[in-house]
Chains A and B, each alone.
Chain A
Amino acid sequence: MKISFGPIPYFWERERVFDFYARALEAPVDIVYLGETVCSKRRALRLPDWLDLAERLTAAGKEAVLSTLTLIEAESEAAYMRTIAENGRFAVEANDMAAVNMLEGVTPFVVGPHINVYNSRTLALMARAGARRWVMPMELDRDTLVALQAQRPAGMETEVFVFGRLPLSFSARCFTARAHNLSKDECGFRCADYPDGMPLRTREGQSFLSLNGIQVQSGETYNLVNEIGELRALGVDVLRLSPQAQGMFEIVDAFRSVTDGHRESSAAAAMLEPYQACGACDGYWHGAPGMNRVHP
């Protein structure tokens, strides 16, 4: 099984991003998704920077994929996406149907987790459009994956989000700016102060969600380390880890040791405990509310 780093969901300063990928060059990760997928205002890195990182990762034997913005409203956002779609060198992950529209027939692509592939007919349609891999939407469960794998189009790889705060929603408005009583245009990039998002709690102090600019994430960390055996049995090709500020390289080591058969899932789960700031959840996989923890 391959392991991937999803795109960095947070607004990290430029040096932090470069440091992160410098370490990724040496890490036991096979695929690295690069680029800004949340907010088009975040431009600490420009396309040439991302392309440069992609070259370096490729030279180190990794597969580099350019990820695109999830919510596309402005013409400028669509234009930037077209530049990515037509980069001519690296594969692209589509996170909006606009990207699929641009990539169809142009270059093979990855169907990101924010394209609603809920059934085989949609997956077949994506295959005809040129997709060679799809990332299962996070709210789908094991039973759905079983059925979709049974009718998977030839040559289509399956990737499952197995670790990280879940991206739950996107909005035109910025929740981080709102938390600071700032307008979106004058946000001052306050999201850069929260390399893991801003914690949102209920009025009883229960950790609940995390605000990351225009995106709302789960407070708890989705973790399917206990399901790796089953994911393998289902023919899942890639396990996705979503970058966070703390412990990414310990996290990838833990997952790698399980996929390589060097460690039991339960032992890896214990290694991951310190990197789940608000605890773990795995409900979606089991067909339960996403925030639930079904596997003890």
Chain B
Amino acid sequence: MAINRKLELVCPAGSMTALKAAVDNGADAVYMGFRDGTNARNFPGLNFDLNEARQGIAYARNRHARVFLAINTYPRPHQWEKWRDAVDQAAGLGVDALILADPGLMDYCVQRHPDLRLHLSVQGSATNHEAIDFYVRHFGVQRVVLPRVLSLTQVQNVMKRVNAEVEVFGYGSLCVMVEGRCTLSSYVTGDSPNSSGVCSPAKAVKWEESAAGRRSRLNGVLIDVYAPEEPAGYPTLCKGRFEVGGKVYYAMEEPTSLNVLDILPDLFRAGVAAIKVEGRQRSPTYVAQVTRTLREAIDACAAAPEKFSPKGAWVEQLDKVAEGRCHTLGAYTRPWQ
């Protein structure tokens, strides 16, 4: 794969305000979804109906930003027509790319809309060049979003072997499990990212106050207990504290955010096409803050990658809006390896 000198900044648009915040603060592209279960951020009050999507696309286009639309859940037979219609609607809107996960839906899209650019969603769960090759051969996928489980070296190795652009997560909440193959959430709540576009959905969350502190539950299962002064986080079930072997700790993952500032030059040199910001469920303020900071960082990196080092102010700004108010390089550097 030839080195791609432009490192695109792809930002979340969970609402029209967030879309404008992303575009106004320097996103090269935004990604959005329809207001239903066809996308993996199917949260109440988020996303776009057809008319809003049209307006959002116009807003972005007028400011030279591209728009990707995610239809990245896996339709079951009774949902097929709705998902298929969503693909047709996205094609009709003239989005710059469609982000898909389901092979059946990709098969449909290629047949019906052969000219529509396809990206493989992180939910497609392709973690190696052979899996990516399957999607490239069958559907002409032009870009893949890599799951957040690969080390930097593994990302670099994938880059050498694939015939598609690679997009990686640069900032936001961290999935510690390989995306597209995690059903922890449906085990507890009945809804998973694959089937419903949600993880640990808000409707299953219950908070309880007691003298001992605050308890968070997910469909009745105790996810965490917070001491009276301790800040409480959203009860994503893999980020709770549980008891294993007589110890209580974050048995799967701490609540923390991914932040790739430290390895931006490596990703740039490897030829990564785009850095993706997680967070369509987050506020427009978050989107504005993260987009502005990463725009500045990416521009500095592109101008002089060998001299790049993350500014203290950038790190501070990003940590302020981070889950757990701290960050990690996650699987990229694998401190736990």
Which residues of A approach B to under 8 Å, CB–CB?
Answer: 70-75, 77-78, 81, 96-102, 104, 114, 116, 118-125, 137-140, 143-144, 147-148, 151, 166, 168-175, 177-180, 183-185, 198-206, 208-209, 211, 216, 218, 283-284, 287-291
Contacts and interface: CB of A to CB of B under 8 A. Distances in A.
Binding site of A, secondary structure by majority: helix, strand, loop or mixed?
mixed
A289 B187 contact: yes
B77 A78 contact: no
Given A198-B244, A203-B248, A172 B76 contact: no
B38 interface: no
B134 A216 contact: no
A138 B192 CA distance: 12
Most A CB within 10 A of own CB, among B108, B128, B176, B182: B128
Given A118-B75, A169-B182, A184-B337, A101 B133 contact: yes
9 contacts: A71-B127, A73-B127, A97-B131, A168-B184, A173-B334, A178-B336, A179-B247, A203-B225, A216-B238
Given A72-B131, A184-B337, A216-B252, A208 B180 contact: no
A199 B251 CA distance: 11
A22 B126 CA distance: 36
A96 B127 CA distance: 9
Contact of A116 (B127, B129, B150, B194): B194
Shortest Cβ-Cβ A-B pairs, 5 listed:
A121-B104, A147-B77, A98-B130, A122-B104, A172-B149
A202 B104 contact: no
Given A289-B189, A291-B187, A119 B75 contact: yes
B177 interface: yes
B150 to A, nearest CB: 6
A125 B183 contact: no
Interface residues of B, number: 67
B130 A172 contact: no
B195 interface: yes
Given A73-B150, A97-B131, A101-B130, A289 B74 contact: no
Most B CB within 10 A of own CB, among A77, A218, A289: A289
A183 B194 CA distance: 30
A64 B194 CA distance: 31
A67 to B, nearest CB: 15
B180 A116 contact: yes
Contact of B188 (A143, A151, A289): A289
Contacts of B181: 70-71, 114, 116, 169-170
A205 B75 CA distance: 36
A72 B251 contact: no
Contact of A118 (B76, B134, B157, B187): B76
B252 A175 contact: yes
B184 A216 contact: yes
Given A73-B151, A78-B129, A202-B243, 6 more contacts: A96-B127, A121-B107, A124-B104, A169-B182, A216-B238, A218-B187
Interface in B82-130: 101-105, 107-108, 125-130
Interface string B322-337: 0000000001001011
Contact of B177 (A140, A170, A185): A170
Interface in B128-145: 128-131, 133-135, 137-138
